[in-house]
């Protein structure tokens, strides 16, 4: 049997998110040279306006949702389904449940009540998984999107920062690639928070569903 190192890395990242054992990715964008920072502070701020969320949503290709569905499918289990919102936010829903949309929407709403932390992990084909808090809420960012955000000017990137973040930026601010990916993914998340619409439910096979089917 042939094993793909990329697949193994991807599965390990997803499993870590599902178990809630992921450490929070720390912002590295406050300096080009961050090697001297031994313990940088984690990202905790929200985007500063609804406009940044709308901007991010308008930039994402519609075909990205098909990729998000494909990327999440291997993570479905008998204990876990996944709700995918219109801007790609993926929310893990514990089984059994009678209402996947309600469960996912409540979970997303609760995340938005607090400062949003995120972690960024690179997986196969140059894609990234961005995990928000440790609640099983993620965004996938794909190579074409990574290339776009990588070439975005720092002036445009400031649209994705909170007022507090902007007030503390150094004059030579230039985010790392991981920081840029996290900012864009966070804005997509905020788009789904402002206008939560579930695009697809990836359901696991559960006892509850089996019982319903037999009635």
Specify the pLDDT at position 51.
62
Distance, in Å, from the CA atom of 194 to the CA atom of 63, rounded to the nearest integer, reads 21
Vertex 36 angle, CA 34 and 40, to 5°: 65
71: which 2 tokens? 């990327």
Specify the pLDDT at position 178.
95
Q: Are 127 and 142 in contact (CB under 8 A)?
A: yes
H helices within 99-196, ranges in order? 100-112, 143-150, 154-157, 163-167, 177-194
Distance, in Å, from the CA atom of 212 to the CA atom of 74, rounded to the nearest integer, reads 24
pTM of the model: 0.72
Specify the pLDDT at position 32.
31
Instruction: Kindly list the averaged pLDDT for each block of 10 residues, start to end, along the chain of length 215.
Output: 49 48 35 29 46 64 88 93 95 93 92 81 93 90 92 89 85 93 92 90 65 47
């Amino acid at each position: 049997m042939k094993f793909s190192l990329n697949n193994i890395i991807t599965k390990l990242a997803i499993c870590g998110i599902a178990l809630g054992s992921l450490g929070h990715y720390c912002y590295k964008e406050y300096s080009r040279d961050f090697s001297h920072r031994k313990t940088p502070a984690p990202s905790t701020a929200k985007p500063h306006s609804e406009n940044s969320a709308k901007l991010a949503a308008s930039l994402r290709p519609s075909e990205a949702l098909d990729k998000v569905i494909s990327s999440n499918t291997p993570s479905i289990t008998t204990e876990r389904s996944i709700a995918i919102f219109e801007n790609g936010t993926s929310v893990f829903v514990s089984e059994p449940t009678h209402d996947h949309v309600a469960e996912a929407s409540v979970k997303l709403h609760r995340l938005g009540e607090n400062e949003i932390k995120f972690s960024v992990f690179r997986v196969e084909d140059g894609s990234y998984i961005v995990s928000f808090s440790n609640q099983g809420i993620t965004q996938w960012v794909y190579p074409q999107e990574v290339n776009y955000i990588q070439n975005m000017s720092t002036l445009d990137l400031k649209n994705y920062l909170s007022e507090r973040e902007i007030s503390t930026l150094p004059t030579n601010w230039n985010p790392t690639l991981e920081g840029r990916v996290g900012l864009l993914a966070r804005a997509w998340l905020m788009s789904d928070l402002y206008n939560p619409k579930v695009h697809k439910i990836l359901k696991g096979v559960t006892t509850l569903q089996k019982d319903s089917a037999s009635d």
